[in-house]
Amino acid sequence: MIVVTGATGSVGKHLVRNLHSQQVEVVAAVRDQTRASLPEGVRSVAMDIENLSSVENAVAGADAVFWLWPSLSGSETAEAGGDIGRILGASGARVTYLSAEAAAAEPTSSWAIMENAIEQAVAEWTILRCTGFAKNVRMWIPQIQSGDTVRWPFANATRSLIHEADIADAAAATLIDKTHTGQRYTLTGPSALRQVDQVKIIGKTIGRNLNWDEEPFEEARDRLAQEFGDLELAEYIMESWQEFIDKPEPVTSSVRMLTGHDPRSFESWVLDHAHEFRG
């Protein structure tokens, strides 16, 4: 039995379908069972990460667990990580943790802290460090629906955006095959693209000529701080984006190695979600 946490999220929903299609017994751990839309035959279990007993119940009896930790706060993760690690370790399950490529360079980040908690407590683990999710370009949808210009900072920030279905395919491989135990894989898209080029690709895919308007740092930071209600988080995000100008995200062959197929292109992700940009 494989338990998938975050089972209705952007990665989890693909992973549940993938495992179910392979006739693997999969249990979807969800916050609200009444609202969860799952494939026929997939059962769910209630889990809230703020309720440790529900986490313990959700992973009990599992052979493997796909673990998703939503908090970006290093302090919150440090506070909860020990208990989470203990629960996952006590379950006896193999654990695949969805982390971020940034964890390697940011030891105080939420991702790195959770990685360490799992590695310390779980006997058999696999870490998937992902670059930026393609879904993050949804942040431009309101501007694209209302006009032909995307006003945003850092036109030359370069990322190897990954399709969430590729993450799910790779995760499925590590959950089914024990030989990936103790490994850390960096999952990426097939190419690194500047943000300005991402906008051009979106425009071409939906039949529009989209333009880029560079937003000043301070203006973007203040806007994000207002949206998130957290100036510190806004500054962290801005600094992270800015780093991608001089240090583009890498491109690896891990998706192909784990899944047997090349990672899906950014164009394919946009095509899958073109209706969202058209409005």
What's 156's domain CATH number? Answer: 3.40.50.720
Say whether both 114 and 210 belong to one domain: no
Tokens 């690194």 sit at which residue?
Answer: 192
Residue 179 above 90 pLDDT?
yes
Say if residues 66 and 3 touch (Cβ distance below 8 Å).
yes
Kindly tell me if the per-residue pLDDT of 73 is higher than 90. Answer: no
19 and 46, same structural domain? yes
Pairing mode, if any, of strands 149-152 and 94-100?
unpaired
Residue type, 3: V
Helix axes 231-246, 217-228, angle to 10 degrees: 140
For residues 83 and 136, state if they share a domain.
Answer: no
- Predicted TM-score (pTM) of this structure: 0.96
- Which domain, by its residues, includes 200? 132-163+189-249+264-279
Question: Which residue type does 62 have?
Answer: A
Residues contacting 243, CB < 8 A, separation 6+: none
Say yes or no to pLDDT of 210 above 80. yes
Do 137 and 71 lie in a common domain? no
CA 129-132-136 angle, to 5 degrees, is: 140
Q: Would residue 180 count as lying in a domain?
A: no
What pLDDT score does 11 carry? 98
Q: Provide the 3-class DSSP secondary structure of residue 17.
A: helix
The proportion of the chain whose per-residue pLDDT surpasses 90, expressed as a percent, equals: 95
What are the two backbone dihedrals, phi and then psi, of residue 147, each rounded to the nearest 5 degrees? -170, -170
Task: Give the end of a domain, one of 130, 149, 179.
Answer: 130
